Each structure stands twice: as C-alpha cells, then as structure tokens.
C-alpha cells in the first residue's frame, strides 16, 4: 500500500509542476461481479452466481494540457457478493467481500462531453465471509492488481460512466468449516461498474 500512496503523491507533484488544472468530486454506483469464485484445492463450491454490489468514493483529475490527456486517481470503497452452493452442507450461501480500490486512470476528452480511459487498479480486500453457520470463518489474502477501462459522458457537474475491471491475478482465500476443515479457494475480481459522479 505504501507504493500506491507514493505513486499518488508523485502524481500530485507532477500536476503542480506542470500547472495542470485539478478537478475534484465524489462518485457512487453499482457493480456487477461475474462468476468469480474458483476452486484452488478441493472442489467445495458449485454454481457461483453473480449479484449486484455497490461502490462509493472520491476522485481527482489532473489535466495535462501539454499532451491533451488527464490522470484520474480515485479512492473507492466497494462491496461485492456472489451466491454459491456449499456442496458439503448442500446449502446456498452468499460470499460477501469488501475492498478498497485505487484506480489510476489515463484518460482523454472526446467532443467536450465524452471521456475514455484505461489504467491499473490497486485493490485491497478488507473483509470477506459466508452467511451460513457451517462455515465459521473466511480470510482473503488482501492485495491484488487489476485493469480498468471504459468511457462516459459529463453534463456540467454530473457524469456517468461504464467500466470493465479484471484482476491480473486471483485473491487466494481460505475458509474454516466443521464439515471440510480448512480449505482454499480463489476469488478473481471480474466486474462491470456503472458509476455516477459529481464535480465539486
């Protein structure tokens, strides 16, 4: 995480050095996380189905007039959910996890109201768990790196965008259950993000 914050500080310094215009705002929206649970060890889950999650956070935009581009770092809290069948108990359960996302996007304005962008997304899983008593605890291995790209439009202070996000690697996770003991599984972020933003 230290490297992420150093990168953000570098971007702030770069924007100041180039006298770039800075915009700031808030954002929120919905996330659709596709089939993202995969087995690492024993085959313990079946039929992972996606559900809609949500996100909320803040964003900055550093315009770089020299090259006609901008850099947009964000700090976003995201909550996601999948429904799976836990085979050993023959029960459906929801797998919930919450994470902090820090995408750092390189973007370009199109026709004064449109935007396209792409960039890495640094992600840290804060918490995860299942909602049946047969699984007593679940842990995830925290940090992962992904890619976001997409586009949107801005009408005055309001903006709406659609993005696709894919993790470069899975998050190694484990669960503890009286039925199967400690088992490993893999969570790979793969989602469509629809966001609404407001420039302050």
Among 3-7, 16-20, 45-49, 159-163, which stretch is predicted with the lowest mean pLDDT? 16-20
Mean pLDDT of 69-94: 90
CB 48 within 8 A of CB 37: yes
pLDDT at 46: 76
Q: What percent of the chain has pLDDT over 90?
A: 39
pLDDT at 8: 52
Exposure on the CB side of residue 47, measured as CA atoms within 13 A: 10
CB 124 within 8 A of CB 143: yes
pLDDT at 13: 52
CA 17 to the chain's CA centroid: 30
Sign of the four-CA dihedral 104, 163, 108, 67? positive
Q: CA–CA separation, 110 vs 130, rounded Å?
A: 43
Mean pLDDT of 103-120: 93
pLDDT at 193: 95
pLDDT at 37: 73
- The answer as to CATH 2.40.160.20 being correct for domain 2-199 is yes
What pTM does this model have?
Answer: 0.82
């Amino acid at each position: 995480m230290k490297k992420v914050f150093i990168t953000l500080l570098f971007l702030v310094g770069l924007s100041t050095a180039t006298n770039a215009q800075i915009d700031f705002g808030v954002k929120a929206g919905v996330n659709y996380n596709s089939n993202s649970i995969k087995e690492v060890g024993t085959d313990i889950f079946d039929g992972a189905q996606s559900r809609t999650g949500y996100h909320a956070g803040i964003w900055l935009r550093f315009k770089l007039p020299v090259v006609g581009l901008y850099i947009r770092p964000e700090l976003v809290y995201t909550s996601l959910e999948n429904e799976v069948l836990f085979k050993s108990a023959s029960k459906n359960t929801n797998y919930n996890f919450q994470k902090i996302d820090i995408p750092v996007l390189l973007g370009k304005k199109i026709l004064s109201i449109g935007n396209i962008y792409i960039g890495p997304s640094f992600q840290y899983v804060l918490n995860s768990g299942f909602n049946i008593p047969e699984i007593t605890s679940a842990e995830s291995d925290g940090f992962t790196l992904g890619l976001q790209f997409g586009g949107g439009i801005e009408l005055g202070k309001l903006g709406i965008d659609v993005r696709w996000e894919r993790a470069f690697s899975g998050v190694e996770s484990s669960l503890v259950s009286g039925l199967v003991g400690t088992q490993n599984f893999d969570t790979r972020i793969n989602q469509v993000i629809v966001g609404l933003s407001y420039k302050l």
